[in-house]
Amino acid sequence: MNLFRSIAKQPSFPALLTGLKEDNDQQRLTKKHGKWWSLLFCFVLLTTGYYFLVMNSGLLQLELETDTRTVFKVYWPKKNGQLSERNMNEFLIEPGKTSYSVRVNNTAKVGYLRLDPSEKTAWVTIKQLRIKQWGYPDYVVRSQEDFARLEIISGIESLTRNDQGVTVQVKSRDPQLKLHLPARGQLFSPWTDPAEAIRLFCVALLVIAVSFLFRSFVHNSYFLPVLGAFALGLIMTMALISAFSTHPDEYVHVTAGEYFSDHTLPPKVGDPAIRDTYSAYGVSRLHSGEIIYLLAGKYLRLLQPLYLESFFLLRLLNVIFFGILIFLAFTKQDFRFFLLPFLISPQIWYIFSYFNSDAFATFISLLAAYQLAGKKSALTSLFFPEQASEQAKYTWIKIVGLGLLLGFLLLLKKNFYFLYLFLFLYFLWKVWLLRPLWNGKKIFHLIMILFIACSVFGGVRLTDAWINDFNKVALLFQARQQFAEYLYNPNTPIEKRHAYLEMRQRGTTLKRFLARDRWGEKSFRTSFGVYGYTQYSGSFSYYDYVRYIGIALLLTLIISIMYQGQGAGIALLGISGGTAVLLILMACWHAWTVDFQAQGRYFLPIIPMAAVLFYHCRRMIFQPIFYILFFALFFLSVYNFILVGLRDIGKYGI
């Protein structure tokens, strides 16, 4: 209760917003009771996580071949013997690739696994199967005798065993095999083995080290750019070692960037010369209207003398974007707080490790959010000088920079339209709270910024419309008819299109869509660590830990704001939360009615929203618990990125 009373002594929300009272984090966090409780809480959290994520989790490794790109699923029974979608993991298999691995639950406590080798007609040959779990001997299935443990449940047309493996022919959408597991003797007790004792001791040392780092860095938030620099190293590693096009749609992004290395104007929709830029949906990124592809093309042109492959150079561009954010966090203390949402999910780091348009959109949106909210930003010095920490300088450079930033902001992906709504409502909220005095000079500066932004936006969109005879919508539909594959072509009868298209029109209810097709769960997982074409994912324990810790972190922030934020803080919470929920609902509606896309990257606009909310409310949150939970999410992110992403992703040159 003493900690909450200390929160209640904070100044009013407007005073916190304008920075009239400096942070007093160090004084509160060095209190003896808070220090030891935080240390104990962190130790319990890390040791429990080590047990469930490392010792209580198995790894299934498969060597297989297939003639069809499809999904392989692995189920394990609950304690009562029942199977469910929650006790399942899945990965993508495809021709030309033979090695796969997937996390499963504690295999030492189950008698069998159910394998669903395909979701459509296919031939699948399993050459070898190995189950690994710490503390137990490996279980290997490779000979004809070993594969006798594999039996048909249903949906399998034929099954042939030989010394090269087992071959199954699938002709249904729900094929099922049962793999019986033998009882495995434990090599050692996790609680009495000397090696395990040493590992747990190392966990305790890690807790102490984290505690000292936390207390040393929290006063000036220096730990945020330090952790960001560590994440930057992981991003660079992924960019360098991963194979081309092992990431979602990387090939279409790269071909779009390569086009603009030799062109400045966009092509006409349907031009046969750009046929290779169209995806299976019959859609080309060259027609998206996003500014990133033009910038990427000119960047490629500039670095052409290096004679490096285009996808490497374009990946480096996204790494540079993340590096700029880290540099700003090191040099601008108030920008550090905007970096915090970037450090709670490995999915965000993954977005910056290969070339795509989402990374640039997130980069630009965070800069825009900082300009609106930051105390030392250029926009604040021009329009809110009473809040700015220094007098405005280089006025025209700032006006041109803000105009270009706003112009780029308007040329992002469609899901960032919800960010525009948030930024507009936030600007009104800030004007209402601070009541700045407007004069002719400020109005003139605002008009010039809007003029530059509209010139950039209008120049791009009008040029594109002129090239396409001001009939782009019709031409886009014709291009889909011409270039889309059969399963995605609008001319294909709806009942013969891909099962994930227009599910509502096919009769799928919203309840079934959420419960059986699991849009919400899949969207959550792809927001916190799924790699490749969603085939590389973590264990259920990992996602459960992220879920519980994330909810606790969110509740800590919400309760702190409701308790101390007064009307202004609660209003900002409502603006941020309401816009984020609206984005999630629209993504769900689009997936149900148009195309089932459970991908966390669609929620990236929430990052700048969360950054603005945290920046204004950071002085009133219950910081010991909040930052411990934050560190827990960061370390889980590092664990997932290294032991799932970097380990399993297809490697360059292999």
Which tokens belong to 467?
A: 């090239």
Which of 526, 496, 648 minimizes the C-alpha distance to 591? 526
- For 179-216, write each residue's pLDDT tens digit: 988 876 655 555 556 666 676 677 667 666 666 655 65
| Residue 124 predicted with pLDDT over 60 | yes
With vertex at residue 526, the alpha carbon angle to CA 500 and CA 121, rounded to the nearest 5 degrees, is 40
Decide: helix, strand or coil at residue 422: helix
DSSP 500-537: TBSTTTTT--HHHHHHTS-HHHHHHHTTSSEETTTTEE
Only one residue has tokens 């419960």, namely 515
Burial status of residue 472 (CB atoms within 10 A of its CB: 0-12, 13-18, 19 or more): middle
78 against 365, higher pLDDT: 365
- Rounded to the nearest 10°, the torsion over CA 545, 548, 553, 554 is 130
What is the pTM (predicted TM-score) of this model?
Answer: 0.76
What CA–CA distance (Å, rounded) separates 228 from 322? Answer: 9
Pair 312, 292: CB distance under 8 Å: no
Mean pLDDT along residues 167-189: 79
What CA–CA distance (Å, rounded) separates 633 from 184? Answer: 33
| Residue 9 predicted with pLDDT over 60 | no
What CA–CA distance (Å, rounded) separates 355 from 382? Answer: 35
Which tokens belong to 247?
A: 């990431």
Task: State the amino acid at position 105 in one-letter form.
Answer: N
> Residue 19 carries which DSSP code?
T
How high is the pLDDT of residue 523? 93
- For 486-513, write each residue's pLDDT tens digit: 889 989 988 888 888 888 998 889 988 9
| Residue 411 predicted with pLDDT over 70 | yes
| Residue 171 predicted with pLDDT over 90 | no
| Residue 45 predicted with pLDDT over 70 | no
What CA–CA distance (Å, rounded) separates 218 from 29? Answer: 9
| Residue 472 predicted with pLDDT over 80 | yes
Averaged pLDDT of the chain: 84
Pair 214, 315: CB distance under 8 Å: no
113 against 24, higher pLDDT: 113
Which tokens belong to 410?
A: 């308007």
Extended strands (E) in 83-121: 88-93, 99-104, 112-116
> Which stretches of 273-416 are DSSP H helices?
292-302, 310-331, 333-339, 346-351, 357-373, 378-383, 395-409
CB count within 10 Å of CB 181 equals 17
Which of 470, 413, 410 minimizes the C-alpha distance to 253? 413
- For 546-578, write each residue's pLDDT tens digit: 999 999 999 999 999 988 878 888 999 999 999
What domains are there in the chain, each with its CATH number?
60-180 (2.60.60), 223-471+514-648 (no CATH)
Please state which of the ranges 256-260, 331-335, 390-394, 568-572 shows the lowest mean pLDDT: 390-394
Does the CA dihedral 384-386-387-389 come out positive or negative?
A: positive
Which tokens belong to 604?
A: 């990236």
Strand partners, 275: none
Which tokens belong to 11?
A: 């100044």
Does the CA dihedral 215-219-221-222 come out positive or negative?
A: negative
- For 73-118, write each residue's pLDDT tens digit: 999 888 777 887 778 888 888 888 888 888 787 777 788 899 999 9
CA 498 distance to own-chain centroid: 25
Which of 545, 553, 526, 531 minimizes the C-alpha distance to 636? 545
